[in-house]
């Protein structure tokens, strides 16, 4: 649990034995344990190199794996890593409060890059103003699993404004205080510092194309995309067999055919899109619905666009680009998507 951007990590039990029976902590008890963590962290100065420790989990998997092995050479680090890697989840308690959805999306995804433990199934991020979000490590599960869990939490929220009902604070069990994790980072400064820095007009715009023709073309485009999606789901995507052959040749040590050295094959996709799932539970309602999900672009000069359809009249988009890339702009892409949606709405309403 990285806390308050000071490099403080704590482990906190959410179960305790009571008269020989393992029981969950009550909301009041969890609140008290979190209070102890916050007060302990606030009383400390910045923990030096530990302040940037989590940034190494954001690096290329091979790089992080090698650095993890270096960390494990210290018995103290091995113990702390074991606690983090076997924990139910990681919680990041931030000090900055996002003022709008765009800032919240940016802060949830990366913060300042030093207090998100990316090599964890889920890191829940909580801000001082009560806003919250989470980052999810995607390799071991599909996004629908986390989406269902997050929707359940939002649909069953009971306590507003961070206040636990007084009647639940009437008595306390004797609980072990949260344990602060210790690190031995001598000789690790270089690795931490490296990790820390680390067209022609379309038919839609042409005045010589009638609205009826545009509607027809739109329907054909939608049908084509649907057919392609179904083909991909069934293993008949245009490039899946080629990727299989490419990986098989690499694994077996065969020379790669010239095709795999062509510009077309090496060209990276600059646009990654994904639909964010919703409405898993019967308790779902618009008032408690999440604002959406997102992910970072896979290409240095690319866009990532996640979209979530909420009912018949609302679609939320999450758009992400690399901060230092001058060729891409999230705001400009957002404006273009909004204009395209507006154009299609007007076109279909006037058909």
Q: Is residue 204 part of a domain?
A: no
Catalytic residue of the set 60, 138, 198, 324? 138
Instruction: Quote the domain boundaries for residue 173.
Output: 2-196
Whether 188 and 327 share a structural domain: no
Number of domains in the chain: 2
Q: What is the pLDDT along the chain (351 residues), one digit of tens a residue?
A: 555 456 799 999 999 988 888 999 988 888 889 999 999 988 887 767 788 888 889 888 888 899 899 899 899 999 999 999 999 999 999 988 999 988 898 898 888 778 889 999 889 999 998 889 998 887 777 778 888 888 888 888 776 666 666 655 545 678 889 999 999 888 676 666 655 555 344 556 667 778 888 888 889 988 988 998 888 888 787 777 888 888 999 899 999 888 888 888 887 778 888 888 788 878 888 777 888 888 888 888 888 999 988 877 888 899 998 888 887 888 888 888 898 888 888 888 876
Q: Which of 196, 216, 245 is the last residue of a domain?
A: 196
Are the beta carbons of 334 and 342 closer than 8 angstroms? no
Of 196, 211, 237, the residue at which a domain comes to its end is: 196
User: Does residue 53 form part of some domain?
Assistant: yes
Whether 221 maps to a domain, the answer reads no
Read off the tokens for 250.
């690499």
Asked if residue 239 belongs to a domain, the reply is: no
Residues 7 and 136 in one domain: yes
Residues 182 and 272 in one domain: no
211 assigned to some structural domain: no
Q: Which helix (H) or strand (E) holds 319?
A: strand 314-320
Give the residue from 230, 182, 177 showing the smallest Cα distance to 71.
182
User: For residue 224, is it left (φ>0), alpha (ψ between -120 and 50) or beta?
Assistant: alpha
Q: Tokens 């896979």 — which residue?
A: 298
Residue 149 shares a structural domain with residue 274: no
Instruction: State yes or no: is 138 an active-site residue.
Output: yes
Same domain, 190 and 287: no
Residues 248/119, Cβ–Cβ less than 8 Å = no
Whether 236 maps to a domain, the answer reads no
| pLDDT at site 85 | 94
User: Does any domain span residue 316?
Assistant: yes
Question: Residue 164 sits in a domain of what CATH number?
Answer: 3.30.559.70
User: 166 and 43 in one domain?
Assistant: yes
Do 182 and 291 belong to one domain?
A: no
Do residues 127 and 101 lie in contact, with contact meaning Cβ atoms separated by under 8 Å? Answer: no
* Strand 314-320 with 303-310, pairing: antiparallel
At residue 88, the pLDDT reads 92
Q: What is the pLDDT of residue 203?
A: 53
Shared domain check, 117 and 37: yes
Last residue of a domain, one of 173, 196, 219: 196
Check whether residue 135 and residue 283 sit in a common domain: no
Q: Which residues make beta-bridge pairs with 64? A: none
Q: Is the pTM of this model over 0.95?
A: no
Spatial CB neighbours of 347, under 8 Å, sequence gap ≥ 6: 211, 214, 215, 218
> Is 301 inside a domain boundary?
yes
């Amino acid at each position: 649990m990285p806390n308050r951007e000071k490099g403080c990590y704590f482990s906190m039990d959410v179960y305790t034995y009571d008269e020989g029976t393992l029981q969950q902590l009550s909301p009041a008890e969890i609140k008290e344990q979190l209070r102890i963590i916050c007060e302990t962290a606030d009383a400390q100065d910045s923990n030096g190199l530990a302040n940037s420790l989590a940034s190494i989990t954001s690096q290329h998997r091979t790089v992080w794996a090698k650095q993890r092995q270096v960390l494990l050479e210290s018995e103290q680090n091995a113990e702390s890593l074991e606690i983090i890697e076997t924990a139910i989840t990681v919680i990041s308690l931030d000090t900055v409060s996002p003022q709008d959805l765009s800032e919240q999306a940016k802060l949830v995804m990366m913060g300042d890059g030093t207090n998100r433990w990316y090599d964890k199934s889920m890191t829940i991020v909580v801000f001082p103003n009560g806003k919250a979000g989470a980052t999810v490590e995607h390799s071991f599960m599909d996004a629908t699993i986390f989406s269902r869990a997050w929707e359940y939490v939002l649909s069953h929220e009971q306590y507003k404004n961070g206040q636990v009902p007084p009647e639940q604070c009437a008595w306390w069990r004797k609980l072990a205080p949260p344990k602060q994790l210790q690190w031995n980072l001598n000789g690790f400064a270089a690795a931490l510092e490296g990790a820390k820095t680390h067209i022609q007009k379309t038919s839609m715009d042409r005045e010589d194309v009638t609205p009826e023709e545009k509607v027809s073309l739109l329907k054909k485009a939608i049908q084509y995309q649907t057919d392609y999606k179904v083909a991909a789901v069934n293993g008949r995507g245009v490039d899946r067999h080629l990727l299989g052959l490419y990986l098989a040749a690499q694994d077996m040590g065969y020379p790669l055919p010239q095709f795999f050295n062509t510009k077309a094959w090496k060209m990276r996709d600059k646009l990654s899109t994904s639909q964010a799932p919703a409405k898993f539970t019967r308790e779902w309602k618009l008032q408690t619905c999440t604002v959406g999900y997102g992910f970072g672009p896979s290409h240095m000069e690319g866009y990532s666009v996640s979209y979530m359809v909420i009912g018949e009249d609302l679609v939320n988009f999450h758009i992400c680009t690399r901060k230092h890339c001058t060729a891409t702009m999230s705001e400009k892409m957002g404006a273009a998507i909004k204009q395209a949606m507006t154009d299609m709405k007007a076109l279909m309403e006037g058909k």
